[in-house]
Structure 1
Amino acid sequence: MADRIVVTPRSAYGHPAVERIRAAGYEVDFPAPGAVPTPAQLHAALADSVGYLAGVEPVTRSLLRAAPRLRAISRNGTGADAIDLTAAEELGVKVLRAPAANAQGVAELTVALMLAAARQLPSVASAIRGGEWARREGIELSGRTLGVVGAGQIGRRVISVALALGMRVRAFDAYPDDSYAATAGEGFAYATLDEVLATADVLTLHAPPAATPLVDAGALAALPSGAILVNTARASLVDESAVLAALDSGALRAYATDVYAVEPPGASALTRHPRVIGTAHIGGYTRESVDRAMAAAVDNLLHVLDSDRERSGDE
């Protein structure tokens, strides 16, 4: 019997990259085709599996302990927030990522949200659908300052568009790259986080998960009045209660987000707020990003499993 690989990303069902797993001699198991599997479905599927191409579902210690043959988990993206990495390391399960596969898609969504917030596009479009002629004043981004937290693959793509629009850019990064700063173009500079907050007419987040919110009440108070906040990174970076208070007071012009503390978030004071633009975690959900991510995830998984298989054969 062929070794089994469990595949759970919704976008993977029917994707041609999965056929390469079968062609390599592995059995493919979709525990919940086109849907997020339940914990019970995952436990049953992983019990005798050697590989796991994982989606957004939680991968807990108990789940990993119930999969004694599992050797590798491959994510079709960069984030591994849902995986108990400590347990995986202890149990000898490799966790593989597909860095930058969705960078272009997330960057383009970030720019779209910036522009939508500046021109109040969702409320204007909604009014037209309702038969209203609502001409709401917007702002132009040219001449304003974009603050970027995290100038990696996604942040740099956003920066290039912002500079082309005529914005100044100030970026905070834990590991500033002098060679990038020298070539980014006029108008770009690295800065401290305090400097970024103090000058950002638009603040966009592209940082890894945080134990405590990076954008809390203090950070929001440091922003210029009427700033726009965009979050296509991680919900943990933002104190949602503080954001709601800043929107209500007028300190924030708008909050545009693709990520939430609980997904789906349901209806709440934040999601219903008239100056919140919410999208359903679609940053990397483009045809091109899905193709790149799936190809990379399959490549990573097969590389590890085939190498293990070859070593076992040598032994």
Structure 2
Amino acid sequence: MPYLATSELSSVGSPMLWAGTIAGVLALLVLDFVVTRKPHEVTIKEALGWSAFYIALPLAFGGFIWARFGSGEGVDYLTGYVVEKSLSVDNLFVFMLLLAAFAVPTALAQRVLLFGITGALILRGIFIALGAAALQTLDWAFLLFAAILIFTAIKLLRDTIQGHDQEVDISGMRSVRLLRRFMPVTDEYHGTRLTIRQDDGRRALTPLALAVVAVLATDIVFAVDSVPAVFGITEDPYLVFATNAFALLGLRALYFVLHAALARLVHLSYGLAVILGFIGLKLALHWAHGIWPSVPVIPTELSLIVIVIVLTVVTLTSLRATRNALPAKEDIPADRR
């Protein structure tokens, strides 16, 4: 077979490293649940502090990968992390729309996000295992992943142009309709509780439970394009898992840092469509190279450069396009300046 052998797929992730990484991820999740145990509104200072921690941690881990396994694996990890972090910002925009649609109280928003992150980590683990197995046994797996990414890029571009990403129809979500068929739903939130017992003794869901399920349902969609995207950077399952885990863990704090800025990143979806299409092309060329060696492949270093340039361009054009949307100082109430 012209692709990767099992030993190559496991070159970085030794059993001890896998165990240590999974234990570290679980410890960080437990810490996040402890932090969010008592509902409270997240201050920008708190969000910035946690965001700085969750950016410094994966970068330090990347330094470890670079020092321990070499520059090739280090660049693969860094590129994969940038891709996953970029996609996670787009995920945050969808989470923002969902939280607004469910009218989730500000104090409970981080608990909903944390449930969503936990579900996303589980789903990514399943998808990564399936993806690694496919790459080992199926010659056309790279071509399949390429088709998924290119299709997703086209759909994302079309939906962005048509404005579909600006709307969330809660009543039309299958997961929400299914829950309401089997259990009653209360009209009001009850703290962090997902269910309560009503006066008649029946167990009922709270709106918080519906919001959590809606976020988990969107996690499935995110995993479909996220995992193939990072497999387009590196075929090592450990690096794929590590980049996904580190990109997801910081989402809770990053949401509150970027909450206002997300509305200004109006061109982000265009950039993500370009990145997904580019990685899809990279995977297709990789598949073709295994059959026809004369077909060129795209090196990871070039991928990193392209991704950084695309993200920089769409960020600058977004800020330029929305600069007039910022209120003038004289229009801001004195008590909010």
Task: Normalising by structure 1, report the TM-score.
Answer: 0.25
Higher strand share: 1
